[in-house]
Copies of this chain bind each other. A is one copy, B any other.
């Protein structure tokens, strides 16, 4: 009988264990305003409310968070405004913050409410992260495409509808919804308020703002308060679970295609292998993250973002939301790999031929816009401190030397492809005047660097083995050049020229 009672106690513990970290140890209250929101939204959008209830935001107030030892803190503000400090972070705390700066603010249940929550709003409690993110290339992901005429022409060549007549194709300007569904989906849309729309709801007739570009949580979103970015691109809503940003799937949403196969390379590397096989035994919620204790292999966040400490508490890497302060090379997104740009706004770069690119078409660096060798070495050393917690120096140095050799050699293969294309332009069997991206041989050339050279480099960066050879790597670099050469010959012959 006593035994049974004990067992019941046990089962209760077991069943409540899953919820232990999430909502059950709540001590700070939900604000009256947020209670109001929840009273309707628990039935209007039940899963949003339920998701939020599992969040850390729902279980701890900023004031309590500020009392934690510094390294364990997830808030970086020194102080939080008084009216926010003693309640948990609920609906109203975020969606009614800074109402005057938000063009999507509207009256909703007597409150000045906005649909979108932005890095500027989040910076109330997380100012250091917001400031770091402002230096992150990703926060400029819209302008870096839209303000670069060359990349705009690449977008047009992909998204524009082609039509066929008299043995010729014509390329139309892409419509905005198509670009939202493609480029802006990762890069971020430019949100604009188009007016208010009446709508009948279960709670009566109401008016809601209409936003062009919505829905969108692209990483560089242009917000209605003038800020850039969307924290939910990586942190999702409304649980904002740290384990989500720390697992590689978050990054894979935008970094999986052949143009930026970071996740693919990772998943076939030994690092990815360790993660997939062993992560059930790791701890993804602890802050700071202790190498060897909380995890026994890296995820994307480990190398590129998280605050890492050794089991003795020594800081191995400071948390960063800039990310490329741990990265000397930009290995994708341009014709050649190049040292990172000084500014996260790359649209102002001009190469020596006046093109908005970090290199010339033949690979010469636009050096004044790029970090120098000293800065590269500093960033490399910051990254390698992470490597060195699991690998000896000889391992790390040997790997890095090989990686930089691959950068050089893959750039070399791109140069060869560029020379073949240049010959096609010179011979007038391809035309670069309107666009350098819209004909078949030009698109082959784009794949040379956008898919194959960068895949080779990503694989090399993560010792990703087969991926860098046959799964979009060297095999394709070498084949594509031969394909381009054949095509050049066929084009010449078709135009009646002798190849």
Does A49 reach chain B (CB closer than 8 Å)?
Answer: yes
Does A431 reach chain B (CB closer than 8 Å)?
Answer: no
Cβ-closest chain B residue relative to A279: B280
Task: Evaluate contact between B291 and A46: CB separation under 8 angstroms.
Answer: yes
Does A368 reach chain B (CB closer than 8 Å)?
Answer: no
Task: Evaluate contact between B169 and A45: CB separation under 8 angstroms.
Answer: no
Task: Evaluate contact between B272 and A440: CB separation under 8 angstroms.
Answer: no
Partner of A416 from B3, B169, B177, B471 at Cβ < 8 Å: B169
Does A27 reach chain B (CB closer than 8 Å)?
Answer: no
Q: Which of A203-244 contact B (CB under 8 A)?
A: 208-211, 214-215, 217, 236, 239, 241, 243-244
Give the chain B neighbours of A254 by CB distance below 8 A. 465-466
Task: Evaluate contact between B260 and A474: CB separation under 8 angstroms.
Answer: no
Task: Evaluate contact between A474 and B273: CB separation under 8 angstroms.
Answer: no
CB distance from A14 to the nearest CB of B (A): 7
Task: Evaluate contact between A277 and B466: CB separation under 8 angstroms.
Answer: no
Task: Evaluate contact between B45 and A389: CB separation under 8 angstroms.
Answer: yes
Does A10 reach chain B (CB closer than 8 Å)?
Answer: yes
Give the chain B neighbours of A460 by CB distance below 8 A. 181
Task: Evaluate contact between A175 and B405: CB separation under 8 angstroms.
Answer: yes
Partner of A51 from B43, B44, B296, B416 at Cβ < 8 Å: B296
CB distance from A9 to the nearest CB of B (A): 7
CB distance from A134 to the nearest CB of B (A): 23
**Given A47-B291, A443-B482: A158 and B278 interface contact (C-beta under 8 Å):** no
Q: Which of A11-36 contact B (CB under 8 A)?
A: 11, 13-14, 17-18
What 0/1 pattern do residues 427 to 460 of A give for CB contact below 8 A with B?
0000000000011110100000011000000001
Does A274 reach chain B (CB closer than 8 Å)?
Answer: yes
Give the chain B neighbours of A101 by CB distance below 8 A. none
CA distance A273 to B258 in the complex (A): 18
Task: Evaluate contact between B470 and A259: CB separation under 8 angstroms.
Answer: yes
Give the chain B neighbours of A182 by CB distance below 8 A. 468-469, 473-474
Task: Evaluate contact between B253 and A164: CB separation under 8 angstroms.
Answer: no
CA distance A209 to B395 in the complex (A): 11
CA distance A473 to B292 in the complex (A): 41
Give the chain B neighbours of A243 by CB distance below 8 A. 277-278
Task: Evaluate contact between A214 and B398: CB separation under 8 angstroms.
Answer: yes
Q: Chain B interface: which of A71-79, A349-357, A484-492?
A: A484-492
Give the chain B neighbours of A208 by CB distance below 8 A. 393-394
Give the chain B neighbours of A11 by CB distance below 8 A. 13
Task: Evaluate contact between A310 and B43: CB separation under 8 angstroms.
Answer: yes
Task: Evaluate contact between A310 and B46: CB separation under 8 angstroms.
Answer: yes
Does A467 reach chain B (CB closer than 8 Å)?
Answer: yes
Give the chain B neighbours of A486 by CB distance below 8 A. 440-441, 487, 490-491
Cβ-closest chain B residue relative to A292: B50
Task: Evaluate contact between B443 and A50: CB separation under 8 angstroms.
Answer: no
Task: Evaluate contact between A210 and B485: CB separation under 8 angstroms.
Answer: no
Give the chain B neighbours of A416 by CB distance below 8 A. 161-164, 169
**Given A186-B466, A273-B253: A420 and B210 interface contact (C-beta under 8 Å):** no
Task: Evaluate contact between A273 and B293: CB separation under 8 angstroms.
Answer: no
Give the chain B neighbours of A241 by CB distance below 8 A. 277-278
Give the chain B neighbours of A364 by CB distance below 8 A. none
Max chain B CB contacts within 10 Å: which of A236, A277, A391, A420? A277
**Given A296-B239, A402-B177, A420-B164: A211 and B394 interface contact (C-beta under 8 Å):** yes
Does A146 reach chain B (CB closer than 8 Å)?
Answer: no
CA distance A474 to B17 in the complex (A): 46
What 0/1 pattern do residues 289 to 330 of A give for CB contact below 8 A with B?
001110010000000000000111010000000000000000
Q: Chain B interface: which of A57-65, A335-343, A406-414?
A: A406-414
Does A135 reach chain B (CB closer than 8 Å)?
Answer: no
Partner of A394 from B115, B278, B489 at Cβ < 8 Å: B115
CA distance A241 to B280 in the complex (A): 13
Give the chain B neighbours of A409 by CB distance below 8 A. 161, 175, 178
Does A276 reach chain B (CB closer than 8 Å)?
Answer: yes
7 examples of A-B residue contacts, CB within 8 angstroms: A45-B392, A159-B474, A167-B423, A247-B276, A252-B267, A440-B486, A493-B493
Known: A18-B281, A490-B490. 17 other contacts (CB 8 A): A7-B9, A7-B13, A14-B17, A42-B311, A44-B392, A45-B391, A46-B311, A48-B292, A50-B293, A161-B409, A164-B416, A178-B405, A253-B273, A257-B470, A258-B471, A443-B482, A490-B494
Question: Which 5 A/B pairs are nearest by Cβ-Cβ distance?
Answer: A50-B292, A257-B466, A257-B470, A440-B482, A257-B471
